[in-house]
Amino acid sequence: MSEDNALEGEGGNTNAFEPSANFAAVPDDFQRLWTPHRLVYIQHGQQPHDDDCPFCLAPKGADAEGLIVYRGVTSYALLNLYPYNSGHLLICPYRHISTYDEANAAEVAEIGLLTQQAMVVLKKISRAHGFNIGMNQGEVAGAGIAAHLHQHIVPRWLHDSNFFPIIAKTKALPRLLGEVRSDIAKAWAELD
């Protein structure tokens, strides 16, 4: 039976069968970054009070404690505490602003520069094949910390996906955050 005939079905019903290409489980050209741990923020709107903003508190302490890998003039880079991949970095302005349009020219320039430097460093130390780079602006856009602007730099490698997060509810990260932070900070210092 051809697909065209299958679509007609019995009694001329044209909706008896649907081509498999229309099914949601069929692979497409999109790469998906599944982050089930973030669902609590989306469903419950759990945002820290401005006084408890982790991106304001991190630069006030030691770099190792705040996972900071580089401090610039207006902005800094740190590891994501809940990384999508090993080496997942965030670029944040020191100033507590929520969206990119609130950043001044110096902050925009340094966020861009630190993003480029992060890519150079991650290519050097982890041989990343590519990157996901982006900003979620506001709670409605999925920002985990909506009140403080931050840009994600997620290193990617060919075939870096696996079934652990789906089957075992486990994300495979091959190195501890402290080790990754130390290596990135050292390589970043060599750029200056």
The residues assigned a catalytic role are: 150
**Cα(17)–Cα(27) distance, integer angstroms:** 19
Residue type, 128: A
Decide the pairing of beta strands 130-134 and 75-79.
Answer: unpaired
Beta bridge partners of 92: 76
Tokens of 179: 């080790």
Query: What DSSP letter does each residue of 5-17 carry, written as one string?
Result: HHHH-GGG-TTS-
**Cα(155)–Cα(128) distance, integer angstroms:** 6
